[in-house]
Structure 1
Amino acid sequence: MAGDLLDQSVGSARGTVSLPDQPRSPWWELGRRLLAALAILLGTVMLVYVDRAAYVDNNDLPGRAVGLIDAFYYSTVTLSTTGYGDIAPVEPHARLLNAFIITPARIAFLVLLIGTTLEVLATQGREMFRVARWRKNMGDHVVIVGYGTKGRSAVETLVNNGYDRDNIVVVDSSPLAKTDANNDGLTVIPGDATRRSTLRTAGVGRASQVIITTDRDDSNVLATLTVRQLNPDAWIVSSVREQENAPLMKQSGANSVITSSDAVGRLLGLSSLSPMLGSVMEDLLTYGEGLEVAERDLLVSEVGQQPQSLPDQVIAVVRDEKVYRYFDPVVTQLSRGDRLIVVRPAKELPWAPRPGTHDEDFAADEED
């Protein structure tokens, strides 16, 4: 019995057809439904005119037949529920036609004409209100230029580290990327990221960070130049496919440049020479499992200690906006205000508690 039910559910699932939505302009939808309402009106006019002998106009002279204009007038006031009563059906079959054909047509007419108009206007107004509210509240956000594989991975990393999706804006001209980003709960600005108007719409001038990840180095360079002109203070991270373009990207204003082809090539080479080393490097780049590379604040209890003596594996120290390797003599002893680049378990473990998760005091807070 259970097997039969399972087979039926699987069969019904296999028989389900899910077609993609076809987005259309609300004005196109309004025009289409207005044409349908006009078709109902004209159909009613023809029905009344063909059967005009069964109608009487109380305002006309006795014996005068209902004409085409009278049929149009009667259909208009009937479908709009005005109903002045000067023209009325007098034959039994005409009254039946009014009850079973014209009355349903009246309902359909009102739904199409009035309901659709209100729906379109309400949708447009609601969308304008949402956009205005978004523009007012947007600031110190992250702009992702390009929502391909690299852009999606960057967003996933930000979200997994506690960043709110509402503070991430995607810029991409691809309709497919727009659909994917919207489905992921992100705001999308469709357009060319090398144009000032597109970047202004995305609020680049008020963004705290901009990540540029298109598939073309020339587009990345031009987008970086434009972003830097619009926002001299934003932290710009850009990707390039070829290492030879990295210096040009730096000169264009990027704070950090990631060479995708070289990074993949090095990982492939390490995996070939030492499969175990390659797996460790892949683990460091994968979020949520095994090991992770992270930046954290210095705790009060860690001030004055050596980087090698901390529970986390410290690989670098950030001091005065400069990065020092853990073995550099400048950071032999940790000082207030330092930040640590560490390798640590991706999840807090009983035998390796993550600093900063047990109500410890941060050195930066103590200093303030």
Structure 2
Amino acid sequence: MLGEFGDRSRSPGISGRPDFALVGLLRIPETQTSPWASLVRRVLFAVALLFGAALVVYIGRDGYKDNSGGELSFLDAFYYATVSLSTTGYGDIAPASASARLVNIVIITPLRVLFLIVLVGTTISVLTERSRQAFKIQRWRHSVRNHTVVVGYGTKGRTAIHAMLADGVQSADIVVVDTDTVALEAAGNAGLVTVHGSATQSDVLRLASVQNAASVIVATNRDDTAVLVTLTARELNKSAKIVVAIREAENIHLLRQSGADSVVVSSETAGRLLGIATTTPTVVEIMEDLLTPEEGFAVTERDVEPSEIGGSPRHLSDIVLGVVRSGQLHRVGEPAVDAIEAGDKLLYIRRVPK
């Protein structure tokens, strides 16, 4: 852990780099489009450029000279636009007047450049990919707020994200931080914003905009790494809700001292379920149901309604498990919550339609 602290102190200032230099570290998911749709769009754009150039030439046809004589028709104008934008230039139709030549300089030449860009669109798209990503990164960093940062895209991180998505959280509101490029590729393919780097470094978390996040999920493979990530995240954001998964219960106090709001001991939780399953497997089944929102039931929280104030949580139509008052959870049956008060939140079992 001391070595990780040392790495953190020598942080190169990733979050302070220009947006162009962040391409590859921060990835904004692309909107997937069909190659045929992209090709058709480029062809239509090229045709539109041709028609636009032809219209400009036709409007100013009096300033052009045709070697065959006679006034330019729209077909002649379209022919001139085609050979001009493609840089063929046979010379049989040429701008003769000063105004026509000015139009060629100001309008036709820029259209020619655009037309050539469309013709070599595949090559240009490769060259402009970094610029497009840099622009998306800049826009994202200025707009992201109240999102969730998930550190680690292993089994725990993926499952946590799956649960959030099933509960209605938008994929655009989730940012994944990991050092594994394969895991980040999978997260990116799932439509998630990804950041490549160690979350033990404050600059990497700043790049994930953890300072503006509403919550942070720490799902690393090592407990000591989880402690350091929690310390760093809490230092950057004093108000975010930080939830941490660890392997050993003896490290709970370290996570609490580091600033974690909730700590889940994965090994002990799995062990309890295994023990229960030997005698009452249906209990494990209903627990899985409650923890999987799309399966039919979900444990969730809501504000009390005005008509419920003063009543007992045990007499409501919902199955209430507890009452959250001033940020503290009280189980149903405790004297402190015999009567519901304004501002309380109810922790209850919600039925999810399949």
TM-score range relative to shorter protein: 0.5 to 0.7
Matched-pair identity in %: 46
Q: Distance in 2 between matches of 1:204 and 1:156?
A: 20
Output aligned runs, 1:262-273, within 5 Å.
262-273=268-279
Out of 275, 290, 296, the residue aligned to residue 296 of structure 2 is 290
CA contact (8 A) 2:167 2:293 kept: no
DSSP-derived class of the 1:273 partner? coil
Out of 326, 335, 347, the residue aligned to residue 341 of structure 1 is 347
Matched, 1:307 2:316: no
Q: Distance in 1 between matches of 2:191 and 2:162?
A: 12
DSSP-derived class of the 1:139 partner? coil
- What CA deviation, in whole Å up to 9, does each residue of 1:249-281 have, x standing for no partner? 111111110000000001111111212222222
Equivalent in the alignment of 1:4? none
The amino acid across from 1:267 in the alignment is L
DSSP-derived class of the 1:140 partner? coil
Equivalent in the alignment of 2:180? 174
Matched, 1:249 2:255: yes
Deviation at 1:320, TM superposition (A): 1.2
Q: Distance in 1 between matches of 2:294 and 2:88?
A: 66
Deviation at 1:176, TM superposition (A): 1.2
Segments of structure 2 that go 5 or more residues without pairing to the other structure are 1-23, 25-85, 90-115
- When normalised by structure 2's length, the TM-score is 0.65
Equivalent in the alignment of 2:102? none
Deviation at 1:82, TM superposition (A): 9.4
Q: How many residues align?
A: 245
Structure having greater relative contact order (Cα 8 Å, sep ≥ 6): 2
Deviation at 1:335, TM superposition (A): 1.2
Matched, 1:201 2:207: yes
DSSP-derived class of the 2:278 partner? helix
Out of 105, 115, 122, the residue aligned to residue 128 of structure 2 is 122
- What CA deviation, in whole Å up to 9, does each residue of 1:9-50 have, x standing for no partner? xxxxxxxxxxxxxxx9xxxxxxxxxxxxxxxxxxxxxxxxxx
Q: Distance in 1 between matches of 2:132 and 2:350?
A: 46
CA contact (8 A) 2:319 2:349 kept: yes
Deviation at 1:301, TM superposition (A): 1.8
Deviation at 1:114, TM superposition (A): 6.5
**Higher mean C-alpha displacement, 115-124 vs 273-282:** 115-124
Deviation at 1:116, TM superposition (A): 6.1
DSSP-derived class of the 2:272 partner? helix
**Higher mean C-alpha displacement, 290-299 vs 132-141:** 290-299
Q: Distance in 1 between matches of 2:146 and 2:289?
A: 31
Q: Distance in 1 between matches of 2:277 and 2:230?
A: 33
Equivalent in the alignment of 1:155? 161
Q: Distance in 1 between matches of 2:343 and 2:267?
A: 36
Matched, 1:316 2:322: yes
Equivalent in the alignment of 2:264? 258
Q: Distance in 2 between matches of 1:344 and 1:162?
A: 14
Deviation at 1:347, TM superposition (A): 2.5
The amino acid across from 1:134 in the alignment is W
**Higher mean C-alpha displacement, 242-251 vs 338-347:** 338-347
Q: Distance in 2 between matches of 1:151 and 1:142?
A: 12
Q: Distance in 1 between matches of 2:145 and 2:288?
A: 34
Deviation at 1:119, TM superposition (A): 2.9
Larger radius of gyration: 1
Out of 222, 230, 245, the residue aligned to residue 239 of structure 1 is 245
- When normalised by structure 1's length, the TM-score is 0.62
- What CA deviation, in whole Å up to 9, does each residue of 1:134-178 have, x standing for no partner? 001111111000011111111112122221111110001111111
Q: Distance in 1 between matches of 2:126 and 2:286?
A: 55
Q: Distance in 2 between matches of 1:226 and 1:332?
A: 40
Q: Distance in 2 between matches of 1:260 and 1:169?
A: 22
- What CA deviation, in whole Å up to 9, does each residue of 1:305-326 have, x standing for no partner? 1111001111100111111111
Segments of structure 1 that go 5 or more residues without pairing to the other structure are 1-23, 25-79, 84-109, 349-368
Out of 220, 225, 228, the residue aligned to residue 214 of structure 1 is 220
Q: Distance in 2 between matches of 1:284 and 1:241?
A: 22
Q: Distance in 1 between matches of 2:282 and 2:167?
A: 27
Q: Distance in 1 between matches of 2:124 and 2:307?
A: 64
The amino acid across from 2:240 in the alignment is A
CA contact (8 A) 2:322 2:332 kept: yes
- Superposition RMSD in Å: 2.5
Distance 1:156 1:116, change over 3 A: closer
DSSP-derived class of the 2:168 partner? coil
Out of 276, 287, 290, the residue aligned to residue 282 of structure 2 is 276
Structure 1 moving runs of 4+ over 4 Å: 80-83, 113-117
Output aligned runs, 1:50-61, within 5 Å.
none
Q: Distance in 2 between matches of 1:306 and 1:233?
A: 31
Distance 1:230 1:129, change over 3 A: same
Distance 1:122 1:339, change over 3 A: same
